[in-house]
Amino acid sequence: MLYLSIAQEAEHWLAAFRSTLPELEINAWPAPVDPSRVRYIVTWNPPAGFFADFLNLEAVFAQGAGIDKLLARDDLAPDVHIVRLSNAGMAAQMVEYALFGVLRFQRDFDHYAEQQMDGAWRQHPPRLAEATRVSVLGLGAIGAAVASTLAGLGYRVSGWSRSPRELPGIRCVHGEAALGALLADTDILVGVLPSTPDTRGLLNRERLALLPAGAALINAGRGDLIDLAALVELLDNGRLRGAQLDVFPAEPLAADDALWRHPKLLITPHIAAATLIEPSAAQMADGIRRLQAGELPAGLVERQRAY
């Protein structure tokens, strides 16, 4: 049985799964089920202890790309597969989010918005895409789409990942040792990294300070990537130009948090890439069929890599 424990639009998810997986028995919370018959669960962040009753569970399908919260739980047996969304319509949204930020900084729209407050008619010399160095941190399905799209538009794109990657038209570097040199060679940094023990705090004070004067930052992966206090200091002292942040160490960002009102920050409420029901259900259904055939599903999490 496939069991859906879904907070929002549960009926829509149920309908999507019933039409994609007609051969499977599917139920959704709060319908009562015999937990011993549940082999697959689709969920995001269920209450503590939720998984304990499902003794024959084979796989949990996360309704998102980041599975840091699932990995941090203590009620999920180590042999249960965790499967994250890989793309499922999120890459295209993330490309748009990154593109908006890159254009905003490259074409000075941040400065023009400030100038408008003062009625200041002041033109800035253009900076061409080909003279704009964009570095993308994270080259999974989403990061690769961001990097390739920006390269296709003429930006000078580099990409950084933990393990080696090759992407046409992108200068790919990998490993912590390569990060410093990359940061020093960046005008706009785009973070689409998951939260793992390797990425938490990766952009610490020391590394942020390696970005050239006037560099800008976009973060749409996970909020714990960045030392926010250090970022604010670098914005306040004029070293960095601005940042567009979609994710935060604690969400929602409290209404009285000073970050909301920082003039050099553009803040969005974790909307860079929303989960789309049909493509997500299609990826998960494919994953279930693969597991049933003894194959590995796309998006299978390597628990020891935490991603």
Phi and psi angles of residue 273, each rounded to the nearest 5 degrees, phi first: -145, 105
Q: Is 65 in the site for ligand OXD (CB under 6 A)?
A: yes
Count the Cβ atoms, other than its own, within 10 Å of residue 303.
Answer: 15
Q: Strand pairing partners for 190?
A: 136, 218
* Binding region for ligand OXD (CB under 6 A) out of 61-69, 100-108, 122-130, 143-151: 61-69
Q: Is 225 in the site for ligand OXD (CB under 6 A)?
A: no
Choice from 46, 64, 138, 159 touching ligand OXD (CB under 6 A) = 64
Catalytic residue among 73, 262, 270, 303: 270
State whether residue 105 is helix, strand or coil: helix
196 near 303, Cβ under 8 Å? no
Task: Select 63 or 132, whichever has its Cβ closest to ligand OXD.
Answer: 63
Least distance CB 161 / ligand OXD (angstroms): 18
User: One-letter amino acid identity for 234?
Assistant: L
Least distance CB 7 / ligand OXD (angstroms): 14
Count the Cβ atoms, other than its own, within 10 Å of residue 250.
Answer: 9
Q: Is 66 in the site for ligand OXD (CB under 6 A)?
A: yes
Q: Which residue is nearest to ligand OXD (CB)?
A: 64
222 is catalytic: yes
* Binding region for ligand OXD (CB under 6 A) out of 9-17, 58-66, 123-131, 197-205: 58-66
Catalytic residue among 84, 156, 207, 222: 222
For tokens 């940061």, name the residue: 183
Work out the angle between the directed axes of helices 277-292 and 10-20 (0-180°, nearest 10): 50
- CA separation for the pair 6, 82 (Å, rounded): 16
Least distance CB 250 / ligand OXD (angstroms): 14
Tell me, rounded to whole angstroms, the distance of Cα 174 from its chain centroid. 19
- CA separation for the pair 145, 30 (Å, rounded): 37
Q: Is 242 in the site for ligand OXD (CB under 6 A)?
A: no
305 is catalytic: no
The catalytic site residues sit at 222, 270
Q: Under the rule (CB under 6 A), what is the footprint of ligand OXD? A: 64-66, 273
